[in-house]
């Protein structure tokens, strides 16, 4: 059995790589740790589970959509916070849209508006690039592909090719490659905790950087599930097909989240098969971290471990 599967306890604690930092989210706390020179700065805040905000967010399928949107919002906020610790010469000037918002609104409202715009643009980019663009390209070749099944398969193949190509391109950027290292540190630290080991650099370092509950795996599962769900739509009109893609996307995300929960909770032949493609893709979105990055991950992790052992069981 591989080291990454040699885990009896599965935690619900998850994280996200930031700019020179890591966010860890536990059942009742969220922590952001950022390295600034030789110092690690950690910000911790209490959080309320989504299902306690609204009972609908605890219902299967619906909770997947709620978790995705919530993760987008908290993720954008965390990245913006971590960027504040960059040297001034690396921060750059706010763009014209941000400057206009900051000029016309109070600081608190401006921050909320900027976060909302960033989330909307992030979702729009993802939907446009990975879902609508393949539909448009497949539509352009509609005259050469008569079978609706073949057209759907071709569109699905384009979707996966575009997704993997995108990851390969951004992985070549220096800033992103460092985030991939912090991503690896996050996974290693979670594995170390799940194995019941002391959270030390020495114990975290040998752990696997490939985790079954990774956001990368969720995105890949979403693309695969979309092949099945979208196969029920066979309209030739490209605009109708695009509209159906958008309408069915919440269903796709909801189903994908439930599959990810299943793969993250159990360790058997089926879940290993489900997790395998996502783990393979994580070789692009994670990298081996250095010890200083691991220290940041440990600092964030320690802040969100619940006081009562086991209350964070997945």
pLDDT value at residue 91: 60
Q: How far apart are CA 190 and CA 294, in angstroms?
A: 11
pLDDT value at residue 89: 60
Cβ partners under 8 Å of residue 135, min gap 6: 155, 238, 241, 242, 245
DSSP the chain: --GGG--S--B--EEEEETTEEEEE-SSEEEEEEEETTEEEEEEEE---HHHH-GGGGSTTHHHHHHHHHHHHHHHHHHHHHHTTS-HHHH----HHHHHHHHHS-HHHHHHHHHHHHHHHHHHHHHIIIIIHHHHHHHHTTTT---HHHHHHHHHHHHHHHHHHHHHHHHTSHHHHHHHHHHHHHHHHHHHHHTT----HHHHTTS-S--TT-HHHHHHHHHHHHHHHHTT---S-HHHHHHHHHHHHHHHHHHHHHHHHHHHH--SHHHHHHHHHHHHHHHHH--PPPHHHHHHHHHHHHHHS-SSTTTTB-
pLDDT in tens, 24-56: 999 999 999 999 989 999 999 999 888 888 888
Cβ contact 44:299 at 8 Å: no
Closest CA to 275 of 223, 216, 208, 187: 216
Q: How far apart are CA 313 and CA 269, in angstroms?
A: 21
pLDDT value at residue 111: 77
Q: How far apart are CA 71 and CA 65, in angstroms?
A: 10
Structural domain boundaries in the chain:
3-304
Which regions in the chain score pLDDT beneath 50?
1-5
Q: How far apart are CA 213 and CA 196, in angstroms?
A: 18
pLDDT value at residue 8: 73
pLDDT value at residue 213: 86
pLDDT in tens, 233-274: 777 778 888 898 999 999 999 999 999 988 888 888 988 899
pLDDT value at residue 3: 43
């Amino acid at each position: 059995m591989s080291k990454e599967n040699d885990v009896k306890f599965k935690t619900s604690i998850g994280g996200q790589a930031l700019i020179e930092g890591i966010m860890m989210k536990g059942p009742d706390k969220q922590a952001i740790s950022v390295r600034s020179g030789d110092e690690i700065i950690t910000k911790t805040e209490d959080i309320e589970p989504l299902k306690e905000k609204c009972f609908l967010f605890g219902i299967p399928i619906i909770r997947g959509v709620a978790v995705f949107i919530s993760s987008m919002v908290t993720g954008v906020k965390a990245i913006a916070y971590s960027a504040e610790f960059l040297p001034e010469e690396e921060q750059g000037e706010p763009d014209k849209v941000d400057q206009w918002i900051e000029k016309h609104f109070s600081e608190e409202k401006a921050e909320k508006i900027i976060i909302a715009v960033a989330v909307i643009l992030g979702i729009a980019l993802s939907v446009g690039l990975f879902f609508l663009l393949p539909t448009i390209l497949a539509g352009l070749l509609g005259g050469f592909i008569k079978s609706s099944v073949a057209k759907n398969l071709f569109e699905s193949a384009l979707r996966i090719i575009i997704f993997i190509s995108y990851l390969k391109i951004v992985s070549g950027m220096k800033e992103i490659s460092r985030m991939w290292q912090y991503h690896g540190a996050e996974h290693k630290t979670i594995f170390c905790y799940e194995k019941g080991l002391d959270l030390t650099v020495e114990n975290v370092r040998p752990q696997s950087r490939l985790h079954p509950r990774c956001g990368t795996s969720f995105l890949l599962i979403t693309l695969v599930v979309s092949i099945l769900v979208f196969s029920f739509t066979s309209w030739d009109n490209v605009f109708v097909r695009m509209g159906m893609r958008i309408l069915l996307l919440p269903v796709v995300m909801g189903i994908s989240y439930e599959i990810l929960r299943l793969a993250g909770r159990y360790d058997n032949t089926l879940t290993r098969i489900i997790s395998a493609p996502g783990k393979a893709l994580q070789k692009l979105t994670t990298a081996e971290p250095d010890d200083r990055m691991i220290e940041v991950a440990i600092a964030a992790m320690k802040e969100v471990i619940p006081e009562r052992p086991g209350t964070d069981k997945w």
